[in-house]
Chains A and B, each alone.
Chain A
């Protein structure tokens, strides 16, 4: 901040473009950010799938290492996050397809779609984990 008794320069009188700190969080904006964050998370999570497949293709010892990691508390937490990211990102993709088709772009619809992505992502994750614990 410049000293307060200096006259305002012409530059400081210009209207500022909206800045990150004055943005109000909206659900559509949050889902947009989460879509990208979950996409990047899945990018890293692909390493986990590769590790699992390669270890399974090797021998029982390598499989045992990846299996005990994935069934540990940390491993389950990562897998839970990976599956949530997969479903959230997938539903986000469906939302984008609806938009691409020209539907759901008006205010109530797009807000509703954003909430459906968020709630649906968690619902699918819990559903699949319930099935997983039931068939295990």
Chain B
């Protein structure tokens, strides 16, 4: 992450102590990186969800068990949850102060991590169990 931080700061900005001292710039960069990835992923995800509408339980399982829909859903979930974790982090940093801020930042990480793992586990289970 530190390497990406350097990517967005010029050498003279570093010498003059301008900009983020830690990972602020890489957070900004990852927000843009994930949002660019999410444009095609959202289109593909909506496509997969639309293809499920006419199907019953077995049909939905069979469709989500195919490699391409499964990979699309898992990529959308992983990139989307990483994106929303950064977004909620900046919302918390903007509006919450004191100890509540620290608790919420930890809760945000736990929630996002657990949700991402649960979704990926569920898709893998649909495909392999």
Contact = CB atoms under 8 A, between A and B. Distances in A.
Interface of A: 36, 39-40, 42-43, 46-47, 49-50, 53-54, 56-57, 60, 63-64, 67, 83, 86, 90, 93-94, 96-97, 100, 128, 131-132, 135-136
Nearest to A83: B46
Contact of A63 (B50, B53, B60, B84): B60
B61 interface: yes
A128 B81 contact: no
B88 A43 contact: yes
Q: A-B pairs with the 5 shortest C-beta distances?
A: A53-B122, A57-B125, A57-B122, A93-B35, A54-B122
A53 B123 contact: yes
Interface stretch (B19-27, B36-44, B96-104): B36-44
Among A39, A57, A64, max chain B CB count under 10 A is at: A57
A93 B53 contact: no
Interface size class of B (residues with CB under 8 A): 20 to 34
Contacts of B57: 56, 60, 63-64, 67
B42 A90 contact: yes
A67 B42 CA distance: 22
Contacts of B121: 57
Contacts of A39: 84, 87-88, 91
A40 B115 CA distance: 15
Contact of A54 (B64, B73, B118, B129): B118
A53 B119 contact: yes
Contacts of A128: 46, 50
Nearest to B87: A39
B50 A56 contact: no
B32 interface: yes
A108 B121 CA distance: 47
A60 to B, nearest CB: 5
B125 A97 contact: no
Contact of A94 (B39, B61, B88): B39
Given A50-B115, A63-B60, A57 B88 contact: no
B77 interface: yes
Contact of B53 (A50, A100, A135): A135
Nearest to A39: B87
A49 B119 contact: yes
A100 B32 CA distance: 9
B74 to A, nearest CB: 10
Given A36-B91, A136-B53, A57 B126 contact: yes
